[in-house]
Structure 1
Amino acid sequence: MEIIGHTRQLNLLRGFLKNNLFFSSYLFRGSEEIGKKTIALEFAKGLLCENKTFGGCSSLHQIPNERASFCLSCFDSAKRDFLMIDENFLPNQVIESDDEKAYGIDTSRAIIKFLSTAPSVSQRKVVLIDEAHLLTQEAQNSLLKIIEEPPANAVIILITDKPSYLYETILSRTLQIHFSLVSQQTIIHWLEKLVPRSPKSEVEEISRLSLGRPGQAFKFSQDKKLLMQFKKTVLQLLHFESKTIGQRQVLLKDFLETSSDLRVDMAVWQTILRDELLFSFNLADLPLILSKKRSMASGDLVKILKRLLTFSETAENFPATADACFKQVALSIPSC
């Protein structure tokens, strides 16, 4: 997917490449589905490229499949100097291991083994760790050693939307680049090119409901059922405010049975409450989801939002408690 927004961050990364300024470890942080991984991959290509071009030689629009058009590193289809760590990675791709999942101690050992050898075709070796917050404590401890004393010509890029899950010592030893949500107008301009036949009202709605995340906007534009399900979720969450406790008990049963991820739903709920709070402060041009003011008092909104933030953090740290956390919040909201 093409990169949407993040002009300042892109200029910074291109500047690093152009001026030959390299750090041994980077941390790309920001919300989900805003383009961190896409940008990290393009930056990694630039780090490996002999011409130090963001996105590699192919981004120069040279003739495809032409050996002379690419530097040796960009032509290397095996990507021998690049290691991608994600949910599909298996440590036995690099070392002897029986571990059948990524992000454990053997993943860190694989990274260390990969970086311990000299580059094959590039001037450096690059490791990209997607969803770095999934690294176990053992894995983080092991990885910290190589972050503190990196081999020559080694670069590690960590990507996360939950930096608080990483050790403070890792955070302090990486160059952190924060990626913000993308503006609605930027997403609208992109969607108008992506789905030119869609009505303007639909494009604007998708942009608004994507909450500043191009990845989510893309999914909504390609899957109308997903968009309708999201709108249904918003309406269900709003209904909790207008029902008695007994009625909420009935709504809860259906909601909990149909929700695909309560932690995501709680994040959406935070946005709804934020919108209501903005309306109560007469900031009607700032809400992301709601289009009109509701009747809950601002004091109650602040209390329930604080409560929701606390329980959302608990659900993130202990996923098995998500149902209980959601119920606690839903049953404690004052009826409108």
Structure 2
Amino acid sequence: MKALYRKYRPLKLSDVVGQDKTINQLQGAIAQNKISHAYLFIGPRGCGKTSVARIFAHEINQFDYQLEDSYVDIIEIDAATFTGVDNIRELREKAMIIPTTGKYKVYIIDEVHMLSTSAFNALLKILEEPPAHVVFIMATTNPEKIPATIASRTQIYRFSLAEPELMQNFLRKISGQEGINISDAALRIISERGGGSFRDSLSILDQLSTISDKEQQIDETTVSEALGIPSQQGISDLLQAYQESDTTKITEALSILLNAGFTADSITTELIQQIIKAPSPKTLPLIERLFSVTGNFLEAKLTVALISTTQSLTTKTANPLATSQTSNPAMASNKVINSAPAVEPSPPSPSTAQKKSESSSAFANIRNQLVKNAKNHKAEHALPPVEPEDLTPVAPPTLPEAVVDSAGSFNFNGFVANVSNVNPTLLTALKKSFFLINGKNFDIYPEKPVYWRILSQKNNLDILRGAINSINLTVKNPDTDVIPKTAVSFDQAAVGQTAKPDTSSPNLSSLSAIMGDIQEVTDNPF
């Protein structure tokens, strides 16, 4: 009996689920008979790269595709074991032989990033002057390891993981065909644990289908126990105790989960996923501490992460002025002034008081407009508006109109203040990111996927784009986009630095273009 992920593997491009844009492009290439000599499929594991490569190889040759078939004109190569330069030289020699039955001789190279540097150089020779009858389809999960000279000679197609709703509907369809009695809540957990991978999700469903009779429904509890993951209620109770800053409840909730046989590693993973689903100002700082729960003594580290962060939150709550200054860069910049020794203030002149009132009113008006543009319904306590003719010239506020000045210079601190005014919790993810400001383009490179998922959520992305004007803002995915060497950190951007100078020598740049990313080592390792 076949495993479900093999039984329901697509046999036609039209059967592929979740990759509509890529499939439409490949079908268009076949319909118009515009077949390139090389393709590069990029995406996470389990998203269908190899399956689509096999289907495409058969369809351009007009072969009938079956899982067990074997055509001599379609050659599959695993680059993890086919890494040497001699292997590629042998491939080049055989590639010159015309196909026997099909129109094209197709080479499918899986995990192509595993090839050695010399093997890449040998492959480059045939990619530069390919025979008319040869097509290369390369698949990789690490595109940053592909030399630029190889990638530039291919057509690149990106594959993505399936959305949870799409995956759940797909699993429901398979469950119905297989006669698996399973609840929607259980399918939702399988979709989450599968991480958008069809192969992983079907493997979990296949495993669960054998643990109960067909008459007995597989529910949420059954899935959690079978996969060894904490229940959603237990995780919710732990987070609730954390938000209430109750160390006793935290200890009790954590003990219940640990005594039930769940590992500290699985509890940490579920906590992070739960926080990402519904982030809040109290729970976001916990993510950074949870990342340190690795290595030995995981239970102790998890307890310390929960309780120490709770004490930090309690301290901040007790001192709201310090918290507001930290979350608002504009207020933080006045920290030196505010911390000066108390001196009996002199009565302000009427003109000074009037200017302060007018400046605050203008600031509140623009803030309200920012909130409206970002579609955020957070209440704003603005001062009563004043008529335009009553306004006197004041310093530009750090809001959208001040992000780009008349000279075209970008004000990063103004951007940060705008975001903080609407949703200060986003600063946690921004501080763990790098930035590249180039003319009208503002690219954000989060350090880890968890921060990318927070910033790329639709509401949060609207807030980020609403905090600037006349600039194209893009949040880059760390799984597919490498952080450029010229990108600056949060602290560097805060002091006005927009890009790092490229200090690499021309010789290293030339070598990197051929052999991949090369860095000069200046420190003595001994």
TM class by shorter chain equals: 0.5 to 0.7
The question of whether the paired residues in 2 share the 8 Å contact of 1:27 and 1:176 is answered with: yes
**Alpha carbons of structure 1 residues 45 and 242: separation in structure 2 relative to 1, 3 Å:** same
In structure 2, distance between residues paired with 1:121 and 1:244: 57
User: 1:199 and 2:190 equivalent?
Assistant: no
In structure 2, distance between residues paired with 1:135 and 1:28: 16
1:82 to 60, 74, 87: 74
Cα offset, 1:16, TM superposition: 1.6
Cα offset, 1:7, TM superposition: 1.9
The question of whether the paired residues in 2 share the 8 Å contact of 1:220 and 1:227 is answered with: no
In structure 1, distance between residues paired with 2:128 and 2:70: 29
1:12-49 CA-to-partner distances (Å, cap 9, x unmatched) read 21222222111100111122211111111100111222
Aligned to 1:313: none
Cα offset, 1:305, TM superposition: 6.1
User: 1:143 and 2:135 equivalent?
Assistant: no
Aligned to 1:57: 64
What SS does structure 2 have at the residue aligned with 1:159? strand
What SS does structure 2 have at the residue aligned with 1:253? coil
One-letter amino acid of the counterpart of residue 111, structure 1:
L
**Alpha carbons of structure 1 residues 155 and 241: separation in structure 2 relative to 1, 3 Å:** same
**Alpha carbons of structure 1 residues 104 and 255: separation in structure 2 relative to 1, 3 Å:** farther
Identity of aligned residues (%): 25
Aligned to 2:417: none
**Alpha carbons of structure 1 residues 207 and 249: separation in structure 2 relative to 1, 3 Å:** closer
Q: Which runs of 5+ in 1 are unaligned?
A: 50-55, 60-73, 89-100, 257-280, 284-295, 311-336
User: 1:119 and 2:126 equivalent?
Assistant: no
The question of whether the paired residues in 2 share the 8 Å contact of 1:4 and 1:214 is answered with: no
The question of whether the paired residues in 1 share the 8 Å contact of 2:55 and 2:65 is answered with: no
**Alpha carbons of structure 1 residues 298 and 250: separation in structure 2 relative to 1, 3 Å:** closer
1:253 to 291, 296, 318: 296
Cα offset, 1:227, TM superposition: 6.8
User: 1:303 and 2:431 equivalent?
Assistant: yes
The question of whether the paired residues in 2 share the 8 Å contact of 1:219 and 1:226 is answered with: no
User: 1:234 and 2:277 equivalent?
Assistant: no
In structure 2, distance between residues paired with 1:34 and 1:227: 24
One-letter amino acid of the counterpart of residue 302, structure 1:
L
Tell me the number of residue pairs that the alignment of Structure 1 and Structure 2 aligns.
246
In structure 2, distance between residues paired with 1:86 and 1:227: 33
The question of whether the paired residues in 2 share the 8 Å contact of 1:4 and 1:187 is answered with: no
**Alpha carbons of structure 1 residues 205 and 236: separation in structure 2 relative to 1, 3 Å:** closer
Aligned counterparts, 1:94-109, within 5 A: 101-109=81-89
In structure 1, distance between residues paired with 2:39 and 2:143: 12
User: 1:153 and 2:136 equivalent?
Assistant: no
In structure 2, distance between residues paired with 1:174 and 1:244: 39
1:296-333 CA-to-partner distances (Å, cap 9, x unmatched) read 954334334668549xxxxxxxxxxxxxxxxxxxxxxx
Moved more, 35-44 or 197-206: 197-206
**Alpha carbons of structure 1 residues 241 and 146: separation in structure 2 relative to 1, 3 Å:** same
Aligned to 2:144: 164
Aligned to 1:328: none
Aligned counterparts, 1:165-180, within 5 A: 165-180=145-160
One-letter amino acid of the counterpart of residue 182, structure 2:
S
Larger radius of gyration between Structure 1 and Structure 2:
2
2:60 to 47, 63, 75: 47
One-letter amino acid of the counterpart of residue 191, structure 2:
S
Aligned to 2:90: 110
In structure 1, distance between residues paired with 2:298 and 2:116: 32
The question of whether the paired residues in 1 share the 8 Å contact of 2:284 and 2:428 is answered with: no
Aligned to 1:18: 31
In structure 2, distance between residues paired with 1:177 and 1:244: 33
The question of whether the paired residues in 2 share the 8 Å contact of 1:126 and 1:155 is answered with: yes
Cα offset, 1:107, TM superposition: 2.6
In structure 2, distance between residues paired with 1:131 and 1:244: 32
**Alpha carbons of structure 1 residues 122 and 304: separation in structure 2 relative to 1, 3 Å:** same
User: 1:7 and 2:28 equivalent?
Assistant: no
In structure 1, distance between residues paired with 2:288 and 2:97: 65
The question of whether the paired residues in 2 share the 8 Å contact of 1:24 and 1:156 is answered with: yes
In structure 2, distance between residues paired with 1:178 and 1:244: 30
One-letter amino acid of the counterpart of residue 119, structure 2:
A
Query: What TM-score does the superposition give when structure 2 sets the normalisation length?
Result: 0.41
2:114 to 134, 155, 173: 134
**Alpha carbons of structure 1 residues 33 and 118: separation in structure 2 relative to 1, 3 Å:** same
1:191-245 CA-to-partner distances (Å, cap 9, x unmatched) read 0022242110111222234333222322332346557389545147689975998
One-letter amino acid of the counterpart of residue 295, structure 2:
L
One-letter amino acid of the counterpart of residue 23, structure 2:
L
1:148-191 CA-to-partner distances (Å, cap 9, x unmatched) read 11012100001112111011011111011112222222211110
Cα offset, 1:115, TM superposition: 0.7
What SS does structure 1 have at the residue aligned with 2:93? helix
User: 1:210 and 2:338 equivalent?
Assistant: no
One-letter amino acid of the counterpart of residue 164, structure 2:
Q
Moved more, 19-28 or 208-217: 208-217
**Alpha carbons of structure 1 residues 121 and 167: separation in structure 2 relative to 1, 3 Å:** same
In structure 1, distance between residues paired with 2:46 and 2:122: 28
Aligned to 1:188: 168
Aligned to 1:220: 204
Write 1 or 2 for the structure with the bigger share of helix.
Answer: 1
1:77-123 CA-to-partner distances (Å, cap 9, x unmatched) read 542111111167xxxxxxxxxxxx32221231232122111111111
Structure of greater relative contact order (alpha carbons < 8 Å, 6+ residues apart): 1
What SS does structure 2 have at the residue aligned with 1:201? helix
One-letter amino acid of the counterpart of residue 212, structure 1:
G
The question of whether the paired residues in 2 share the 8 Å contact of 1:48 and 1:126 is answered with: no
In structure 2, distance between residues paired with 1:235 and 1:254: 18
**Alpha carbons of structure 1 residues 207 and 118: separation in structure 2 relative to 1, 3 Å:** same
The question of whether the paired residues in 1 share the 8 Å contact of 2:76 and 2:107 is answered with: yes
One-letter amino acid of the counterpart of residue 114, structure 1:
K
CA RMSD of aligned residues (A): 3.9
